[in-house]
Amino acid sequence: MKIICIGRNYVEHIEELNNERPKAPVIFIKPDSAVLPKEQDFYIPDFSNDIHYEVEVLVKIKKVGKHIAAKFAHKYYDEIGLGIDFTARDLQSELKGKGLPWEKAKGFDGAAVIGKWLPKERFSDLGNLNFSLKKNDVTVQEGNTGAMLYGIDDIIAYVSQFFTLKKGDVLFTGTPKGVGRVVANDYLSGSLENETLFTVNIK
Ligand code: ZN
């Protein structure tokens, strides 16, 4: 199983990090070892002093496909979720500055939180899903999938030109504005359409 992530998919988040608006989706991959095991606490790694949360809507791929047309993309998933793309922002900035790949900053152990999955039929419009992240019971990120530069079906069409999608692969669709730091003893909880799909304790 692989995790394919989209960067810079919400304009206000692009602005908060002073990034350029992309002409095509920005893609990166996390290895399967990045998945934080269910019910496990997140331990801040000793190579970073600036771990950021990024709440993101997730899509689970249900069958193999490549060169998928956007109009058929809906046939390749039937579950929607919510997760966190943990990012070592200090390390990422250093690597970006040198023009090097981000993997160490995004693909480390525990850097992918994957919450509970919900059937997509639960939602009448996947292009209008509200989601949010709370830190210590205070809302820090709020988003709506309608604000994505590239929607789910467009992401699948684009990504599948480069990577064969396989059953069980997970797409992280990008984060809205409001990313920020976590420190030990923080507590995060993420909700999609008012249903809590994950909670994480930071250690
Ligand atoms: Zn992200």
Separation of CA 197 and ligand 1 centre (Å): 17
Q: pLDDT in tens for each of the 203 residues of the chain?
A: 999 999 999 988 888 888 888 888 999 999 999 999 998 999 999 999 999 999 999 999 999 999 999 999 999 999 999 999 999 999 999 999 999 999 999 999 999 999 999 999 999 999 999 999 999 999 999 999 999 999 999 999 999 999 999 999 999 999 999 999 999 999 999 999 999 999 999 99
Separation of CA 30 and ligand 1 centre (Å): 11
Q: Taking a C-beta distance cutoff of 8 angstroms, is the pair 157, 42 a contact?
A: no
Separation of CA 136 and ligand 1 centre (Å): 21
In sequence order, what are the residues at sequence separation of 6 or more whose Cβ sits closer than 8 angstroms to the Cβ of residue 10? 143, 147, 148, 149, 174, 175, 176, 177
Separation of CA 174 and ligand 1 centre (Å): 5
* SS3 at position 156: helix
Closest C-alpha to 160, from 77, 70, 81: 70
Tokens of 191: 């909700």
Separation of CA 5 and ligand 1 centre (Å): 7
Domains of the chain: 3-201 (3.90.850.10)
Separation of CA 176 and ligand 1 centre (Å): 9
Separation of CA 2 and ligand 1 centre (Å): 15
